[in-house]
Amino acid sequence: MQRRHKGLHSGLLLLFSQIAHVGINNIPPVTLATLAVNIFLFLQPLDSLNEACVSVNKVLYKGDWHPLYLSVVHHIDDWHLYFNMVSLLWKGMKLEKRLGSLWFGYIITLFSLLVGVVYILLELIVAELLHDPLYKQSCAVGFSGVLFALKVLNNYYHPGGSSNILGVNVSNKFACWVELVAIHFLNPGTSFAGHLAGILVGLMYTMGPLKMIMKACAGGFISPTRFSEHRNGYNPENFSYSGYQFYPQRDYNLFTGGLSEEEQLRRAVINSLNDRGGRTRHYLNEWRS
CA–CA gap between residue 147 and residue 284 (Å, rounded): 19
Span between the terminal Cα atoms of the chain, in Å: 21
Q: Does 195 participate in catalysis according to the annotation? A: yes
Amino acid at 183: I
Amino acid at 181: V
* Angle of CA points 78, 80, 83, to nearest 5°: 105
CA distances from 124 to 61, 71, 148 (A): 11, 18, 21
Instruction: Check 144, 191, 260, 289 and give the catalytic one.
Output: 144
Amino acid at 4: R
CA trace torsion 114, 119, 125, 128 (10° rounding):
-130
Question: What SS3 class is residue 32?
Answer: helix
Strand 245-247 to 162-165 pairing: unpaired
CA distances from 161 to 175, 232, 247 (A): 10, 12, 10
Q: Does 144 participate in catalysis according to the annotation? A: yes
- Helix boundaries (H) for the chain: 10-22, 29-43, 49-52, 56, 67-70, 78-99, 101-130, 134-137, 144-157, 172-186, 192-206, 210-218, 249-256, 261-275
CA–CA gap between residue 42 and residue 49 (Å, rounded): 10
Instruction: Check 9, 55, 195, 260 and give the catalytic one.
Output: 195
Q: Which residues are catalytic?
A: 144, 195
